[in-house]
Amino acid sequence: MTITTVSHTVADMTRWTGRAEPFETARARYWYQLAQPYEQQPVGLIGFACDQGVRRNQGRVGARVAPPLIRQAFAALPVIKELQQRFDGQLPTLLGDAGDIHCHDNDDFAASILEAAQTTYADKVSHIIKQGGLPIGLGGGHAIAYGSFLGLWQALTKRHDDTNVSVINSKTVTRTTPTIGVINFDAHLDIRQSDVATSGTPFRQIAEHLDTHDQPFHYCCIGVSRFSNTAALFDRAEQLGVQVISDEDCHFQPWESLAKQVDTFISQVDVLYITIDMDCLPSSVVPGVSAPAAYGIELSFVERMVKRIMASNKVKMADIAEINPTFDVDNRSCKVAARLLATIVEQHLLVS
């Protein structure tokens, strides 16, 4: 008997529902009205329905069921007036739903299931980027981050290989791979040393991948808690040159100083991958995660910083990770994830 360990399910459009408002003006628009199965739209959503990395990392599993619930919460949000103005009221189908990658987790299965899910997901991500869209990954555990990075890497390096050496006016011109910057909103550094990939290792894996390809590692982690990371992890962060902005910095440092730090980081790279681990927010705001935060950073801060980063127009990949609906209260965590997802989508469509 063949056991399928990783599978892809196409978009379930029954999730894209919301209020019907036949008596309102045409400006009463919701995201569910602008989504179709993925077909080269400006934004492509792709679910990573996998929490095997969380299991391997000794966390609380359950994140694998989050992608359709985040979509559903997002579908019901209104499309802001600025976006309607940007498209002169003629809103095209802006969102493509590329379905979900499933990692059929089972303790008896071979250890390579997570890795297979990451590469299958990365192929989808890379396809969307190559078609000119912004892929947004919906986790799933934070092992999504290595898949997101791999997809971005594949898209950038494929393009690089194609045009690696060109002849312009009889002169050979060699192009270089764009410098990638990674910005992670997270209480955790996720650079653990381990014999297998987990939800706690993705940024160490990215560092090693880049090192193998002689590329610099630019990693900025925002919201890091001194009570959620060991001294060994802070040592590794220093060795790897990680820009650490702690949860306490986010509370006590002036906004302008933090924004300047992030702007400087952004100025050093060509393209950005932005990832939001929802456990960066306080557990009162986001209870539905594997590792709830006692302290956390404010939603208003995360949203403001996400807008600032998106304004750079360098973001080529984004994802939202670690929502665990098993521990959610009143769908609160999914609603916060949907709000951040809407912020990324809106800002991308406004600046691109």
Which CB, 190 or 328, lies closer to ligand NIG?
190
How far apart (Å, rounded) are the C-alpha atoms in residues 123 and 151? 6
How far apart (Å, rounded) are the C-alpha atoms in residues 123 and 135? 11
Within residues 129-158, the interface with Mn ion by CB under 5 A covers: 142
Residue at 56: amino acid letter: R
Under rule CB under 6 A, residue 190 binds ligand NIG: yes
How far apart (Å, rounded) are the C-alpha atoms in residues 298 and 295? 9
Within residues 181-220, the interface with Mn ion by CB under 5 A covers: 186-188, 190
Question: Shortest gap between Cβ of 163 and Mn ion (angstroms)?
Answer: 34
How far apart (Å, rounded) are the C-alpha atoms in residues 180 and 198? 22
**Which of 102, 142, 314, 348 is the binder for ligand NIG (CB under 6 A)?**
142
Strands in the chain per DSSP E: 6-9, 35-37, 43-49, 95-103, 134-139, 165-168, 171-174, 180-185, 218-224, 243-246, 271-277, 315-321
**Which of 29, 124, 192, 236 is the binder for ligand NIG (CB under 6 A)?**
192
**Which of 67, 133, 140, 200 is the binder for ligand NIG (CB under 6 A)?**
200
190 is in an annotated binding site: yes
List the one residue out of 54, 61, 43, 55 whose CA is nearest residue 324.
61
**Interface stretch with Mn ion, choices 1-9, 66-74, 217-225, 277-285 (CB under 5 A):** 277-285
Q: Are 197 and 56 in contact (CB under 8 A)?
A: yes
Identify what 200 binds: Mn ion, ligand NIG, none; CB under 5 to 8 Å per kind. ligand NIG
186 is in an annotated binding site: yes
Within residues 251-310, the interface with ligand NIG by CB under 6 A covers: 277, 290-291
Residues at the annotated binding site for Mn(2+)? Answer: 142, 186, 188, 190, 277, 279
Residues of each annotated binding site: 142, 186, 188, 190, 277, 279
